[in-house]
Amino acid sequence: MSEGKNRASISVGDEVKVVQKHHQSSGELTQGIVKRILTNSKTHPHGIKVMLESGTVGRVKNIIKD
């Protein structure tokens, strides 16, 4: 599941699961729709950082496919 580490595989409007900074130790995931992509680089070893429509910021762990 390295798809969340690649910026090219994430688009605004995608449904994703992210881990928030304060949940990194527990690994708790939050699901939502991508509002903005915050990571500028093409890849990131811990996942691309995004903002969800709810305002939650986290690193993408899973992209939910239809």
Task: Give per-residue pLDDT as tens, 1-13.
Answer: 468 999 999 999 9
Per-residue pLDDT at 24 = 93
- The string of DSSP codes covering the chain is --GGGBGGG--TT-EEEEE-GGGTTTT-EEEEEEEEE---SSB-TT--EEEETTS-EEEEEEE---
Asked whether 62 and 17 are in contact (CB, 8 A), the reply is: yes
CATH of 3-63, one of 2.30.30, 2.50.20, 3.40.1350, 2.40.50: 2.30.30
Task: Give per-residue pLDDT as tens, 24-57.
Answer: 999 999 999 999 999 999 999 999 999 999 999 9
pLDDT of 66 strictly over 80: no
pTM score of the predicted model: 0.92
Asked whether 44 and 11 are in contact (CB, 8 A), the reply is: no
